[in-house]
Structure 1
Amino acid sequence: MIICTLYNHKGGVSKTTTTFNLGHALAQSGYKVLLIDADPQCNLTELFMGPVFERLDLEYAFTGEIPLVPGTTLLDALKPRISGASSSVDIEKIELVPSPHTSNLTLFKGDVGLSTAEDDFSQAHTQRSSGMMHFKFLYVAVSDMVRRLGESIDADYILIDVGPSAGALTRTFFLSCDSFFVPVAPDRFNTQAIGSLSVIIDKWMKEHKEIIDDYKSLGLPISEGRPLFLGSIVQNYKISRGGRARTGFEMWMERIPQRIEQELVPVLKKYSDSNIELLKVCNDFGDTRATKLPDFSSLITLMHELSKPIFGFSQEDTSIISSNGYKYTGSVWEDAQRRMSEWRESFGSLEARLKKAKEVLGDK
């Protein structure tokens, strides 16, 4: 089992969209996948459960009664541990939401109230070296919960959608992972953000390393806190008629990997050793660039309307976005099929790196 996140403190880089599609790609390949919505904005939950919410809205309009939304929220699961009512999360009480379209794919849904737990986890990080066991239990609660939950459903991959922040919640979930991708958009500010991202990750790993031996000696289920870097995902760019990135994007697409080599790679080397080489996957593929994902254009509307992956639409589905209400036909449908095939291939590249991570770390 591999736990992975797509992390960048810079917003607007399509973390949620890519996590959603990657989960579907892995499930389509026959793997059992769990998606966890750890972003208080709950965009992954909204995207995943679109048909469910539509049905519940119709029920409410018909009955006037607010229907119960299926599934346990992340906050509800964590509350007993945050309050101190229990030493760990009871995973048997967690109800996951199955995908309305894809077998082998489930969601641990988000909660807009999750941000209320920010102060609790911030205090757990501040008090991580103290003798107060409540904060030690809280410090390890997320990683312990995620791993036990994944094992209980025999998951092959767990993908965690985190918020675009450097706060305690995001930090907690990031340190719970075995691996991570860095999604970026090819522009000036995303390129600059690689520097501050590297500082953030350096700080998190350094402070986690300082206490890991103490926690292990106490028998606490602490994570390794050194996720493998699986590469960058350059996305949200426009392409020309020839299929290349437009000129305004190409310059930044070249500068981003240079910045990663200058800023992030030295940090990851610092926390690598004979047991865990954080750049092993990128080195094996010979590139820190995992894949490129151009703008999804009009088809992204279908993804949001139907809660289907960007590569999973039928010809009948396209009637939703057709100007005349009819399905795509002829060259228009052929072009859509070509683009869907290219996107599926791109997600296959990410899938290959996750498989390599599983080889490197062993099947935990």
Structure 2
Amino acid sequence: MIIWAIANQKGGVGKTTTTVTLGGLLAQQGHRVLLVDTDPHASLSYYFGVDSEELNHSLYDVFTTPNGISKDGVMDSLCPTKLDSLFMLPATMALATLDRSMGTQAGMGLVLKKALDTVRDEFDYVLMDCPPVLGVLMVNALAACQRVLVPVQTEFLALKGLDRMMHTLEILTRSQGREFAYKIIPTMYDKRVNAAADAYETLRKEYGDNVWQGVIPVDTRFRDASQAQSPPSVYCPKSRGVYAYASLLKQLQQLEKEV
């Protein structure tokens, strides 16, 4: 099972769009895919029309079940999507209380990893949409993943947010004693704007091969797909944005084969 965390300590850079689009493409390739919403704002959950505040089970149960959640507990918490092989583990606002109530407990950084281990035989890929703040939820997602995907909007302020994310990976590298494989994904690229090209060049200069050589363009079809509560690869498969994500996915899958 391949696990990717989609993370950046800045909001509005395309984390949820990246999660949904890559997940949809993988499902259409025939893979069984689990999307995990680790953000209390629940953007990924709402994308699929799920109001997690009305659900009996959610990701919150993974963290609060005594003695750890079972495979049946994880599977019972999943929500279906419009693709038969694409499932979602929804978030809830109650997740925002975890740092205060459980942040200092021993072993809290590995709860999600242990939960995903119970469904290892059920899924080929797991993609986790992370909150834009460093806390129990992001630490859990990073501890569970094999690769971090970092969407970065191609504009100056977003580059500053990337600095914080890279610093977080450095801290966790020291504390966990492992190197994090990561790929920076330039998003919302507008070729008509000089600042976007400048931002992309800055990314390439500062982070080299850790930056995907392509870009995800500005594409209004992403917004249409979210309104339709459908993965872009289903709603608008021939759009330029989906084409770009398909190219990204091809490279990511090649990287996993080389590991």
Q: 1:305 to 1:355 in 2, by over 3 A?
A: same
Match of 1:352, SS state, is: helix
Partner of 1:192: 160
How far residue 40 of structure 1 moved from its aligned partner, in angstroms, is 0.5
Partner of 1:312: 234
Q: Does 1:79 align with 2:64?
A: yes
* 1:295 alignment partner, one of 208, 213, 218: 218
CA RMSD for the aligned pairs? 2.4
Amino acid corresponding to residue 313 of structure 1 in structure 2: Y
* 1:90 alignment partner, one of 67, 70, 74: 70
Q: Is contact 2:212–2:248 with CA below 8 Å preserved after alignment? A: no
* 1:258 alignment partner, one of 182, 198, 205: 205
How far residue 183 of structure 1 moved from its aligned partner, in angstroms, is 0.5
Deviations 1:241-264 (A, max 9, x none): xxx342231111111122224xxx
How far residue 192 of structure 1 moved from its aligned partner, in angstroms, is 2.6
Q: 1:360 to 1:227 in 2, by over 3 A?
A: farther
Partner of 1:228: 181
1-structure distance, mates of 2:253, 2:62? 29
Partner of 1:172: 140
Give the TM-score taking structure 1 as reference length: 0.65
Q: 1:228 to 1:77 in 2, by over 3 A?
A: same
Q: 1:304 to 1:288 in 2, by over 3 A?
A: closer
Match of 1:123, SS state, is: coil
Higher relative contact order (Cα pairs below 8 Å, separated by 6+ residues) = 2
Match of 1:34, SS state, is: strand
How far residue 290 of structure 1 moved from its aligned partner, in angstroms, is 5.0
Q: What does 1:9-158 align with in structure 2 at a 5 Å threshold? A: 9-48=9-48, 50=49, 69=55, 72-80=57-65, 85-86=66-67, 88-94=68-74, 95=76, 96-99=78-81, 101-124=82-105, 135-136=106-107, 138-149=108-119, 151-153=120-122, 155-158=123-126
Match of 1:102, SS state, is: coil
Q: 1:344 to 1:304 in 2, by over 3 A?
A: closer
Partner of 1:356: 254
Q: Which runs of 5+ in 1 are unaligned?
A: 54-66, 125-134, 210-224, 239-243, 262-281, 315-336
Q: 1:235 to 1:305 in 2, by over 3 A?
A: same
2-structure distance, mates of 1:146, 1:14? 24
1-structure distance, mates of 2:38, 2:54? 21
Give the TM-score taking structure 2 as reference length: 0.89
Instruction: Tell me the percent identity.
Output: 21
1-structure distance, mates of 2:153, 2:131? 16
Q: Which runs of 5+ in 2 are unaligned?
A: none
2-structure distance, mates of 1:290, 1:107? 29
Partner of 1:129: none
Q: Is contact 1:194–1:260 with CA below 8 Å preserved after alignment? A: no
Deviations 1:100-139 (A, max 9, x none): x212100011111101111345313xxxxxxxxxx13x33
How many residues end up aligned between the 2 structures? 257
How far residue 227 of structure 1 moved from its aligned partner, in angstroms, is 3.4
Computing the radius of gyration from Cα coordinates, the structure with the larger value is 1
